């Protein structure tokens, strides 16, 4: 399986369990790896035979900006399901970064990584 990766998609969302997170929002960063067979697209040099990563990027940002959820696990699942709606995408790895998580000690990042497939 071939891989198409999008790294560092950024959007402001209002996800989290604390009222402040819901009210003020924060930046979330998403990395994706889409698993698909790119041979048909390469052979025909045809965008319609692969995944349009620009469209995927816009959809993922819309999910992050969309309806708030408590957990980044839920957000990652919603993103994965959106990616799998694209014909040809057989698998997706989603990493959601929450660099401004409400943690009381110094830290660089909080992430959740999930992998989902059609099977």
The catalytic residues are 98
- Give the whole-angstrom CA distance, residue 57 versus residue 114: 17
Nearest partner of 30 among 111, 90, 100, judged by Cα: 111
- Give the whole-angstrom CA distance, residue 51 versus residue 28: 23
Identify whether the C-beta of residue 18 lies closer than 8 Å to the C-beta of residue 102.
Answer: yes
Phi first, then psi: what are they for 61, rounded to 5°? -60, -40
């Amino acid at each position: 399986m071939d891989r198409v990766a999008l790294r560092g998609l950024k959007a402001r969302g209002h996800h989290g369990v604390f009222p402040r997170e819901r009210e003020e929002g924060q930046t979330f960063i998403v990395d994706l790896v889409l698993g698909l067979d790119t041979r048909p697209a390469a052979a025909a040099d045809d965008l319609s035979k692969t995944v349009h990563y620009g469209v995927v990027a816009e959809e993922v940002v819309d999910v992050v900006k969309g309806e708030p959820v408590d957990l980044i696990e839920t957000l990652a699942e919603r993103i994965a399901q959106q990616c799998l709606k694209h014909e040809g995408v057989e698998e997706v790895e989603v990493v959601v970064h929450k660099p401004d998580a409400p943690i009381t000690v110094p830290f660089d990042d909080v992430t959740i990584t999930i992998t989902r497939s059609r099977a």
